Structure 1
Amino acid sequence: MKTKIVTTFLLTLLLGIAVKGQEKVTSPEFLKYTNSKWVDSVMKSLTPKERIGQLMFVAAYSNKGIEHEKEILETIQKWNIGGLVFFQGDPVTQVKQMNSYQKQAKTPLLGAIDAEWGLGMRLDSTISYPYQMALGAIQNNNLIYKMGTEVARQIKNTGLHLNFAPVADVNNNPDNPVINYRSFGEDKYKVAQKSIAYMQGMQNAGLLTTAKHFPGHGDTNTDSHYKLPQINHSLERLNNLELYPFKELINAGLNGVMVAHLNIPALDASEKPSTLSKAIVTDLLQNKLGFSGLIITDAMRMKGVTNNNKPGIVDKEAVQAGNDVLELTQNVAKAITEIENAVKNNSILQADIDNRVRKILAAKQWAGLHNYKPTPNKNLVHNLNNANAKLLKRQLVEASLTVLKNDDDVVPLQKLDTLNIMSISIGDSLTTKFQKTLGLYDNVKHFNIGNDINPATIDKLKKAINNHNLILLGIHDSSAFPKNKISFSNTLLKFIEGLPFNKTVVTYFKNPYSIAKIKNIEKAKSLILTYQDSKTTQDIAAQLIFGGASANGKLPVSIGSKFKAGAGLTTAKKIRFKYTLPEDAGLNSKTLNSGIDSLIQQAISNKAIPGAQVLIAKNGKVVLHKAYGTHTYSDTTKVKLSNLYDIASVTKISSALPALMHLQDANKFSTEKTIDDYLPYFKGSNKAGIPFREILTHQAGFSPWIPYWQNTLRKNGSYKWHTIKRDSSARFPIKITSNMWLNRNYKKKVFKAIKKSPVSDVKKYKYSGLVFYLLPTIVEEITSTNFVDYINANFYDKLGATTLTYNPEQKFSHSKIIPTENDFLFRHSTIHGTVHDEGAAMMGGISANAGLFSNANDLAKLMQMYLDMGTYGNEEFISKNTLKQYTSVQFPDNNNHRGIGFDKPYLIYKGENSNTAKDASKESFGHTGFTGTMVWMDPKENVLFVFLSNRVTPTRENRTLYKLNTRTKIQQVIYDAIK
């Protein structure tokens, strides 16, 4: 007895200062209903036994079938329990069950769930937000508040009213087996701030909350689910640290506290769990800290409280201690009987029971249960997973990313043309989402190793490591939750520890505490923490490395002696594409996705195209990147995002044109000069003296095209002996097909045909591709460099556009390349892996008129560089002034709408006969291609549109794509989605 008196005295003394600070305690809002008419009427309707029943909350599952439902219904009807705590299952079944349970309940049920990181913690088909440790790294607490409002919306939409969150424990024990990653961290101030943000977000959105695990479960190495942990800290330490977040939450209007099963001698000298301790629940929480809201026990089936305590009796003791709600009572009948007997012998006062029931009913009224209506479940899964909810998850993940090291500012990666990159994913034997996203930015050689690494694999990896100058290492977590442990074999661990960290960027997808168990990892060139392993964290971490995302997270816990809490570097802002959701760029995802999907499906159904790739970006954010259909109509091979299409005339603005702009910036080319200035061969011709400004805007009067291939044929359809042979040789080295080889001098014949072609005296818009056959040679004459080498070195390699290439079959298998036409006139075969345009084919596949292949993603990088007025990846390719010149209308007075090389909107919109959507701005520019391709950029809205297809399959006579006007209709959908 003396020990208890001393403890109480010291507790009062030490908390005295804190109590003075409690004068501004904000009472929970729901308490205003404690004596409302509805609460009064319900109280009058309840028998003493039914009032006790209101204190009981039992476990409910939506995946245990009909027998479990019957058991719950029987409990509700027999004991008039106060509420249900839902666990595993699915949202639709949960709503149906809760509606059914409410219908049978005499008193409306309070529905609760333990959803610390959202419904995904318990229910399938729902969203899991980052664990609280990841949230602890976030610097903007408004994001955490926003998460609170969204979690509240989702929980309420599943028929529930109370979330057992936030976790307010200060985790300062790395070996804590039960809190750990569930805590905001080790800094009490930040734990308090973030707990309040999460709590207020939920409560302001109409959800009851419960901060836990009072009085602080952060410094234990025992899991209270299995054993009663003991905390042997002094009163002063407890008051200054463990209790601090709870005091701040109480001051901020917290409406619920969950009491943990802990043995804390400094607060109660008996060996009772804190849940059963009057000194802790009543004297400390209510009287000293002034908390007047709902007090809820931790689960009464946990061994931390059930060991050595009998069912029923333990519940009675929890009520005697001062708890309002008994969570997951093991035996409702025994609990009610014991409490009933305690009331009869005055060890529990009926007035206390009534006051607690009023408090519970007041919470129910605040939650709207006085006007209960069944919860609808129509479109529930879609509503729970709406675009804004998904976007919030991505925003939270990005904001949590923590860069602990970044020597020489290696992240984000720059100068891609100097890097030879390999990725190694540890702990996952299949190509990871992390690796797939890395591949969107550059050519990355991927390696995957599991825990069973063998010497042969190690040797292979060591050779690869020697051949690459940058390693992107992903260390993954195969466990369901990020525990503080390393389960790698000694062989694998030694392999990791022996890596050349001076050229390695490490992305750590595991619990940050476990970093302390890996030697040398702190020597990495860059070290990135994601706190957990998921497709979202992998995706965004990969984007961070290449500059599609940025990081400013701060480490919420210390990692041994390697890194202290608060560590974290800020990386450069976005410098390359960010792959994200439409809402992230201000577009409506439903309008965008459904509109484009339906138009593509219409085109495929009408056999306008067998398949397509579409990429849309706004503000440098890729908001749609999809592949549709199949390679051909007769093929079942689905189009993948990695497949290459023949981009046809889009080559015009993707090859020689950027080279000319680049050379103009270097004062080596001018649009005011003429063909014969750069190709003396044309001096004296009808094309001499015509400036490139006129030629590249199709203003020069050149002929549209020349069927060069027809000159190879005799009248009987066979090839002239000096033009094409069936086999290659020194004289016939130019491959057209595997059994068609062109004479090495035929290029001269093409140039001669262009030189001799007529030129109209009338200077007006007349589309011509002739000069584009000459441009590669002009670039070579100016630079003394092979044309392909020049554009690779100055553009494609730097952009990471690894599929943007000529003659793709030299680099890629045919399975990766989409076929085009079945050519029965010239090549007498299916065109697959080589350029569709006959003239370009006869130039060895290398022309500025056509010849380039690409997937949508790589082509988009070049186009985004244009849209960003010459810069991409923190590198300037072309000056802003030059790009503005080339993308501006040059001869509007002559009714010519073209820019220099670029197509532009018609000067007057012509409805469906226009070349762009009606909402495309006059500043926009782009190009289309004969194979059904289109790229278009609009600086006014900062929008990029890439459309790749093979509408010429199986024949170029198929013009249905034009009749349907699919491409410009898709373009209009983009503007509609912005509206």
Structure 2
Amino acid sequence: MHDRNLSRRTLLTASALTASALAGARPAAASSRPDRLRRIVAGMSPEEKIGQLFVMRVYGHSATDPDPADAEANLARFGVRTAAEVVERFHLGGIIYFAWANNTRDPLQIARLSNGIQRAGLAGRSRLPLLIATDQEHGIVARIGRPATLLPGAMALGAGGSRTDARRAAGIAAAELAAMGITQNYAPVADVNVDPGNPVIGVRSFGADPRAAARLVAAQVSGHRRTGVAATAKHFPGHGDTTVDSHTGIPVITHTREEWGALDAPPFRAAIAAGIDAVMTAHIQFPALDPSNDPATLSHPILTGILRQELGFEGVVVTDALTMQGVREQYGDDRVPVLALLAGADQLLDPPDPAVAWRGVRDALESGELSTARIDESILRILRLKERLGLLRDPFVPEHAVERRVGTRSHLAAADRIAEGTTTLLTNTGGLLPLGRRRTPRLLVVGADPASPTGTTGPPTGVLAAAFAEAGFAAAALPTGTSPTAARIEEAVAAAADRDVVVVGTYNVTAGSPQRTLVARLAATGVPVVALALRNPYDIAHLDGATAALAAYSWTDVELRAAVRVITGGVRPRGRLPVPVLRADDPGRILFPTGHGLSYGR
């Protein structure tokens, strides 16, 4: 927790330090045909072996016919123009999809891309299919948007507290990924978010209670396994107590070994016990676990000593993206992949310069720094996973079936039902909510309008206003952004004059945020203000004057529609805070404890 005071550490960790250890780890199942897999490894050239260790991004919607701009991006990065040629050149073992790399336009296109990549893999000398991965956490991180089903994210599920819902959500996500040919999901997040200022985890975590997070992580692992998609618990040994984003710097975790065991370890232990296929590393320093201060991704004591030997994990260890600054600060891009393998990693994700990374591993293998036996261990783990997923038998997906398996009515209905249990009512002065008990008020919807990565069209204020309109409320939308100007605030105040209630969507409010001024100025008009946190539930600590406040945990349409149903009384609020909210003026005191959440009387 870095330089924060001891009282705050005590406040956030005391209950966790007394938590009892969860059930012991259960090793991953061994391959049913180990001799066959070893023969495959023995028949591979050193170049093919090296390639199997890498998971790289490619550009384009097609494996063989990318758009000109994507072809140029592939040429600049890999020296070839198409995804199929990248697979061939580097003998790749895996691919990762990103929306910004133009990989995920729509479900049918994704399925065709996946099949094209698998054809490229089978055309190589080793004739091996690839693991195709993406980050479909849901909530604020989802690489595939509509018409795929959008689901509540981790902290929303933490607020719902239902293992059944967490399992169902993961099962839906995995079933739709499988239909599109995606075989590995970099989810669930197993980090315990004990730092409200965490810039990179936050609502991606199930919450601040390690035991509650462990139960939901295990449920999501189960949901993935039932549908034949590999789940990946991340980010080991725990990224929940950081104030530095590992994309841009290297965080330092100052937990003691005892604190790690009580706070950070339980979700990973639970994931392993539930049969997790893969674990992703964190680019963080953790001196109590490795005093060398190497990032965990490059730490033999952490990956081999703790994850493998102490926790008993026998599955695939994948690094977080090697493009991130947290793993590049101490070593060159040619050395990082080598050190990760020596530490115990199996898959090397998204190196910044693929050719440099590939040559670095080759040179280490030729010099003897990396032994053939060490490389073969990782390849066997990767092949076991491919075999378990059925890829060695048939890696292709039926393209004609995609549309009836993705974004189905039953999946969409389940997403709405799950989301209804997550919205958390934090305050409700004078019983303002639910709206419309006596008459239907005229609403003004203002506030944040962050760009949604999940396919929703228009700003969240538009989504909210539309949802209110569907519920029979006259709602005007006036987006004011995350940093409203004084002029925009005055415009919102003027617009509130002929409205009965103002709903304000807030987004990561801080002490100096002009969003605070917006809420205060609106409240000063005398018009009741409903504040709806579109991401972090901690916003309420910085807001004065709101008549009622709720947390939605995400701006995606499934969670915003659920919040509207709660606000208007279509459903009763059932969500409970999965994290404590500390006072803004005194971070040593709790404003709302974990488990807080109001409801409506019958």
Q: Scaled by the length of structure 2, what TM-score is found?
A: 0.82
In 2: Cα distance, 1:72 partner to 1:441 partner: 46
Task: Identify the residue that residue 503 of structure 2 maps to in structure 1.
Answer: 474
Q: Which residue of 2 aligns with 1:82?
A: 93
Paired residue for 1:149? Answer: 171
Distance 1:494 1:362, change over 3 A: same
Written as runs of structure 1 = structure 2, the 5 A alignment for 1:46-65 is 46-63=44-61, 65=67
2:232 is aligned with 1:202: no
SS at 1:238 equivalent: helix
Name the structure 1 match of 2:10.
none
Q: Which amino acid is 2:505 matched to?
A: H
Corresponding residue SS for 2:425: strand
1:161 aligned residue: 183
1:45 to 31, 43, 46: 43
Separation of aligned partners in 1, 2:405 and 2:22: 41
Compared CA separation, residues 263 and 533, structure 1 to 2 (3 A): same
Q: Pairwise CA RMSD of aligned residues? A: 3.1
Establish whether residue 123 from structure 1 lines up as the match of residue 144 from structure 2.
Answer: yes
CA contact (8 A) 1:146 1:201 kept: yes
- Maintained 8 Å contact 1:474/1:508: no
Please tell me the residue identity of whatever aligns with 2:570: G
Query: Deviation of residue 412 (structure 1)?
Result: 3.5
Question: What TM-score comes out, normalization by structure 1 length?
Answer: 0.52
- Letter of the structure 1 residue corresponding to residue 26 of structure 2: T
AA in 2 matched with 1:149? G
User: Which position in structure 2 is the counterpart of 1:533?
Assistant: 555
> SS of 2:421's equivalent?
helix
Cα shift at 1:236: 1.4
Contact 1:261/1:298 (<8 A) preserved: yes
Instruction: State the Cα distance separating 1:139 from its structure 2 match.
Output: 2.5
In structure 1, the residue corresponding to 2:271 is in which secondary structure?
helix
The amino acid that maps onto 1:185 is G
Q: Does 1:519 find its partner at 2:544? A: yes
Residues 1:509 and 2:534 aligned together: yes
Deviates most, 267-276 or 94-103: 94-103
- For 1:111, the aligned partner's letter is I
CA distance in 2, matches of 1:329, 1:174: 30
Shift of 1:216: 0.6
Paired residues of 2:53 and 2:346 also in contact (CA < 8 A): yes
What count of residue pairs does the alignment treat as equivalent?
A: 540
**Residues 54-453 of structure 1 mapped to structure 2, 5 A cutoff:** 54-63=52-61, 65=67, 67=71, 68=74, 70-88=81-99, 89-90=104-105, 91-105=107-121, 106-117=127-138, 121-125=142-146, 126-378=148-400, 380-381=402-403, 383-407=405-429, 410-413=432-435, 415-416=437-438, 419=439, 421-427=441-447, 432-439=462-469, 444=474, 446=476, 448=478, 450=480, 451-452=484-485
Amino acid at match of 2:34: N
**Cα deviation, residue 332, structure 1:** 4.0
Query: Does structure 1 conserve the Cα–Cα contact (< 8 Å) formed by 2:21 and 2:266?
Result: no
Q: Residues 297 and 340 of structure 2 are in contact (CA less than 8 Å); yes or no, is this contact kept in structure 1?
A: yes
Residue type at the aligned position of 1:57:
V
Instruction: Between the two structures, name the one with larger relative contact order (CA 8 Å, sep ≥ 6).
Output: 2
TM-superposed deviation, 1:368: 0.7
Q: Which residue of 2 aligns with 1:32?
A: 31
Could you say which structure has the larger radius of gyration? Answer: 1
Structure 2 partner of 1:840: none
Mapping of residues 642-657 of structure 1, within 5 Å: none
Distance change >3 Å, CA 381–CA 504, structure 1 → 2:
same
Answer yes or no: is the 8 Å Cα contact 1:222–1:229 preserved in 2: yes
The amino acid that maps onto 2:211 is Y
The unaligned stretches of length 5 or more in structure 1 are 1-16, 574-979
Specify whether residues 76 and 411 from structure 1 end up closer, same or farther in structure 2 by C-alpha distance, changes over 3 A only: same
Residues 338, 514 of structure 1: alpha-carbon distance in 2 compared, 3 angstrom cutoff: same
The alignment partner of 1:371 has SS state of: coil
Distance 2:175 2:298 in 1: 34
Deviation of 1:244 after TM superposition, in Å, equals 2.0
Cα 1:247/1:489, change in 2 over 3 Å: closer
In structure 1, C-alpha distance between the alignment counterparts of 2:462 and 2:356, rounded to whole Å: 52
Contact 1:171 1:179 in 2 (8 A): yes
Confirm or deny: 8 A CA contact 1:312 1:332 kept in the other structure. Answer: no
Q: Cα–Cα, structure 1 residues 497 and 239, in superposed 2: closer, same or farther, change >3 Å?
A: farther
Separation of aligned partners in 2, 1:119 and 1:516? 21
- Supply the AA of the counterpart residue of 2:538: Y
Q: CA deviation at 1:281?
A: 0.7
1:161-191 C-alpha deviation (Å, 9 max, x unpaired)? 1011100001111111111121111111111
- Aligned AA (1:160): I
**Amino acid corresponding to residue 272 of structure 2 in structure 1:** I
In the alignment, structure 2 segments of 5+ residues that lack a partner are 1-16, 75-79, 122-126, 450-458, 584-590
* Contact 1:42-1:107 within 8 A present in 2 as well: no
Change in Cα spacing, 1:79 to 1:565, as seen in structure 2 (3 Å) is same
Task: Please give the residue correspondences for 1:961-976 in structure 2 after superposition, counting only pairs within 5 Å.
Answer: none
Please name the residue that 1:569 is paired with. Answer: 598
Q: Which residue identity is paired with 1:312?
A: D
Amino acid at match of 1:92: L
Distance 2:90 2:534 in 1: 47
AA aligned to 2:303 is: V
How far has the Cα of 1:446 moved from its partner?
4.7
Shift of 1:463: 4.8
Cα distance in 1, alignment partners of residues 117 and 496 from structure 2: 62
Distance 1:565 1:51, change over 3 A: same
Query: Which runs of structure 2 are paired with 1:740-759 in the superposition (5 Å)?
Result: none
Does the aligned pair in 1 maintain the 2:509–2:515 contact within 8 Å?
no
Match in the other structure for 1:678: none
Kindly indicate whether the alpha-carbon contact (under 8 Å) linking 2:24 and 2:269 is maintained by their aligned counterparts in 1: no
Provide closer, same or farther for how the CA distance between residues 459 and 144 of structure 1 changes in structure 2, counting only shifts above 3 A: closer
| Matched residue type, 1:75 | V
Q: Distance in 2 between matches of 1:345 and 1:461?
A: 71
**Post-superposition shift, 1:508?**
3.6
Q: What code does the residue aligned with 2:136 have?
A: A
Q: 1:355 to 1:424 in 2, by over 3 A?
A: same
